[in-house]
């Protein structure tokens, strides 16, 4: 059983949300790296670099991704379309972390194989522990 995960990647354009999420993830103390990306494109660029040999120290490959739905330029759904083309996705748990209260978004997420979970913001230590226990047998 793992006691720590290598990297968690948060993809969200909202700075206050990212600040709060970062505090929760850092205080959990079970990630070697916490990476926050404010756009889907920035996250895709990061993930592409993480796939390149020799980049594992500068661009650690994530074990867990928290993905917002509503972002400018490229939303979470569009991100997933590009994400499918990456090889890194084979071992990553993706959780939609959103303010969306639309049942259609939850249903859509359930139909996408790359998405493992759907949670409403804000991230709390309780939500994080449920995710960590379910997918990694780990607690913060």
Where do we find the tokens 């889907």? 40
Task: Specify if 110 maps to a domain.
Answer: yes
Task: Specify if 5 maps to a domain.
Answer: no
Per DSSP, 114 falls in state T
Domain hosting residue 52, numbered range: 13-136
The number of distinct structural domains making up the chain is: 1
Check: CB of residue 32 under 8 Å from CB of residue 4: yes
Task: Specify if 4 maps to a domain.
Answer: no
Nearest to 136 by CA among 49, 36, 8, 11: 8
pLDDT over 80 at 2, yes or no: no
Task: Specify if 3 maps to a domain.
Answer: no
Where do we find the tokens 């850092």? 26
**What pLDDT is stored for residue 88 in this prediction?**
78
What would the pLDDT profile of 46-105 be if each residue is shown by its tens digit?
999 999 999 988 899 999 999 999 999 999 999 999 999 998 767 899 999 999 989 999
Mean pLDDT of the chain: 94
> What percent of the chain has pLDDT above 70?
98
Per DSSP, 58 falls in state T
Task: Specify if 97 maps to a domain.
Answer: yes
**What pLDDT is stored for residue 28 in this prediction?**
94
Task: Specify if 64 maps to a domain.
Answer: yes
Cα–Cα distance between 21 and 24 in angstroms, integer?
5
Task: Specify if 2 maps to a domain.
Answer: no
Structure token pair of residue 122: 């804000």
CATH number at residue 41: 3.40.50.2300
**What secondary structure, in 3-state letters, does 40-84 show?**
HHHHHHHHHHHHCCCCCCCCCCCCEEEECCCCCCCCHHHHHHHHC
Cα–Cα distance between 50 and 62 in angstroms, integer?
9
Task: Specify if 105 maps to a domain.
Answer: yes
Structure token pair of residue 124: 């709390």
Backbone angles phi, psi at 96, to 5 degrees: -70, 125
């Amino acid at each position: 059983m793992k006691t720590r995960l290598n990297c968690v990647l948060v993809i969200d354009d909202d700075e206050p949300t990212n600040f709060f999420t970062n505090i929760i993830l850092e205080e959990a103390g079970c990630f070697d790296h916490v990476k926050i990306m404010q756009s889907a494109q920035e996250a895709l660029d990061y993930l592409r670099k993480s796939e390149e040999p020799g980049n594992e120290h500068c661009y650690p490959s994530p074990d867990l991704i928290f993905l917002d739905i509503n972002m400018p330029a490229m939303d979470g759904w569009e991100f997933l379309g590009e994400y499918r083309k990456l090889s890194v996705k084979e071992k990553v748990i993706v959780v939609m972390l959103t303010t969306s209260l639309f049942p259609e978004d939850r249903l859509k997420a359930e139909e996408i194989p790359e998405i493992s979970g759907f949670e409403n913001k804000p991230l709390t230590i309780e939500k994080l522990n449920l995710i960590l226990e379910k997918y990694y047998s780990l607690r913060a």
